[in-house]
Amino acid sequence: VHCTLLSLCACFIKCFLFFPSVSSNPFDRIIGGQEVTPYSLKYQVSLQSLYGFSFCGGSLIHSRWILTAAHCHVPLFFMKAVIGEHSLDTDEGYEQTFRIVRYVIHPRFESWTLNNDIMLLKLNRPARLNAYVGTVQLPKYRSELQDDEECVVSGWGVTDIYRYSLSNTLQAATISVIPVNECNSKYGGKITKGMFCAAKTGKDSCQGDSGGPLVCNGVLEGIVSWGRSCGDERFPGVYTKVSVYRPWIDYYLYYF
């Protein structure tokens, strides 16, 4: 599990924003990343409290649906989704803000292991797809990533492991897929078929970007889920493997 900074983050969310369901395990920040070109990651979503605190990320996969981590679940009336965002504290005129009218947590989600850490959120209206807002491609069912394949993880989380303050602008880092056996040896066999690992020395996701996208060659392969420490090559970040859940995702996209 994450250490002191994560505990502080979880406490802040629970005690001050009244979000009772936030896990004590999530990743929340991009370590070793850089500010992205504004609106270049058009699928990036900021999940926020009604007061504008960005507590999780997500990905727009359909004009009405967001894909995120199940441990980001909070009561619907406490959250909103903002797409077309770059700077959190500036109204740039391209943002689209939505209420969430339905959430679908994977029926086999385990909060204690974060297995099946995946959730769908339905928007109250379709997003307007334009130069600033767009969807990301989903992987084919059970498609496999190559070891050492480079991917991009993004979010508004903390950028310095020694400070806890969210980045104002959207950040991204390029990291590499870690062999499953290697990652499992680091985590004592806790990596399931619905997970994979990725990292690069000094680069990682961590407290604040839970639920955010990990995109490889333009395809949403991972969801920021959990890990131990931040930017530490001994403990790579763990991501939900989206390809495993493609039939479950498609069922809700096309029938609801």
Which residues participate in catalysis according to the annotation? 71, 117, 210
List of residues 6+ apart from 28 with CB closer than 8 A:
6, 9, 56, 155, 157, 158, 205, 206, 207, 208, 209, 210
CB-based contact 136:213 (threshold 8 Å): yes
Q: CA 76 to CA 101: how far, in whole Å? A: 7
As beta bridge partners, residue 35 has 171
Nearest by Cα to 198 from 212, 187, 210, 214: 214
- Residues 68 and 58 sit within 8 Å (Cβ to Cβ): yes
Please give the structure tokens belonging to residue 2: 């994450």
